[in-house]
Chains A and B, each alone.
Chain A
Amino acid sequence: MENFNKAYTRDTLSLLEHDPETSLLDLGCHDGSLTSRMAKRVGTKSVIGVDCISRDCDVPIVKANLEELLPFPDRTFNVVTAIQVIEHVGNTDGLLQEIRRVLKDNGYAIISTPNLAAFTTIGFLLFGWQPTMISATDWRNGRLNSFHRRVFTLPGLRQALVANGFRIEKELYSCYYPMPTFLSRIMSKIDRRHAACVTVKIRKG
């Protein structure tokens, strides 16, 4: 089966534009491995990561809570990325407004999130089970883990982005579970509404 992490990494990297003058902000950068790959792809040295926990990171990191305001002035970045982050934030509108605020006028953002209408999730629900992408508690295997607060389907995500003043430029879909990789790639194109991973490129509209 297609690896979820590899799929969104590939989709995200393919949406980035090469431009060495660009400044890049990665929200929820974790250990910075994806952030540095994105920076390399864009060809820039001007990159900042944001995360709620300070940890060893491959890129300069700013500690901030994404539920609150971002500690950057207006129109600072050309590119903002939020990869597998928006579903963890309760204050979705606040986050989108903040992304919009810190973006330069010609800037773009890339948002990647799992799809609630994924084929496997529907399968789980048909059995009446709790889908793995929507945890009933923050406790997992005895560890506290901030889990998904909001879950999106394609039309839902589009609506949230448009309502917060973005124009959707490109959408990529991958991981049509439980198909094997080559079928998954084909199915994600034919029936994109049920692919497990959605990555969108948006611009200030």
Chain B
Amino acid sequence: MCDSENKERVVFTGFWWDYCTRRYNSEYRRVLFELLEPNPEATYLDLGCGDGTVAKRVAEHIGTDTVAGVELSKKLASQARRKGISIQRRDLDKGLPWADSTFDVVTANQIIEHVDNTDLLLKEIRRVLKPRGYAIISTNNLAALHWIVLLMLGKQPPTACISDEMYGDTRMHRRLFTMPGLVAAVRYFGFKAEKAVGTYYFPFPVPIARLLCKVDKRHASCITLKVRKPCTD
């Protein structure tokens, strides 16, 4: 339905945008690794694990070999399987196939904004976590500086996707979070929000971005939350 003219307008490209996107990814991963606790006994689950590259690196940081993952795409799932991850091909809107209290660590990176049923996802993460287990959730920040600037100009921020079809029929963002919004949501579902970190600041180079994240994390490009399931249920 959409012609090439429309496609050009929704896909952002350009040298600086690509640079920023790469830094966005590397910075949230750096923070993710920092938030992990080494524990060779741990069982680990990555939701929306893609080809499993990041999941493997997370497992290395934890020091564990027991890695499970969920990925909907057949191609990516088979790539991850080859890396030794036990993959379930599954839609995250339909819940998780594991028993209660199975995992010590769950990560959901840049996933929660794509899921229709946010509440179910958070409930399911809590269910499969062992008591005292923790989850790390990262997502795009709606209150990011560059999105506010676009809104001031009255423009549609690309994070608030207007269509799935225009982006090639992948499931695009369904919900948008700010740091206080996400913290309130995880608290509602019975997690203890242990740490809320802002990472990367579009469109700045990394050293300035890191400084800005320290000064004003609420307007950082990405939100990373470390949440824990309390031991008393």
Contacts and interface: CB of A to CB of B under 8 A. Distances in A.
Interface of A: 90-93, 97, 116-117, 121-122, 124-131, 134-139, 149-157, 159-160, 162-165, 193-194
Interface stretch (B53-61, B79-87, B140-148): B140-148
A150 B151 contact: no
Nearest to B166: A163
Contact of A129 (B9, B118, B176, B181): B181
Interface residues on B, range: 35 or more
Interface string B113-127: 000111100100000
B177 interface: yes
Nearest to A149: B174
Interface of B: 1-3, 6, 9-10, 116-119, 122, 142-143, 147-148, 151-157, 160-166, 174-182, 184-185, 188-189, 218-219
Contacts of B175: 134, 136, 149
A78 to B, nearest CB: 23
A149 B160 CA distance: 10
A193 B6 CA distance: 20
B156 to A, nearest CB: 3
Contacts of A153: 151, 154-157, 160
Q: Which 7 residue pairs across A and B have the least CB separation, nearest first?
A: A193-B154, A130-B181, A128-B218, A156-B156, A136-B181, A136-B185, A93-B165
25 contacts: A91-B164, A92-B164, A93-B1, A93-B163, A122-B152, A125-B147, A125-B148, A125-B178, A128-B143, A129-B181, A130-B177, A137-B122, A137-B185, A138-B119, A139-B119, A139-B188, A149-B175, A150-B160, A153-B157, A155-B154, A156-B160, A156-B162, A159-B10, A163-B165, A193-B154
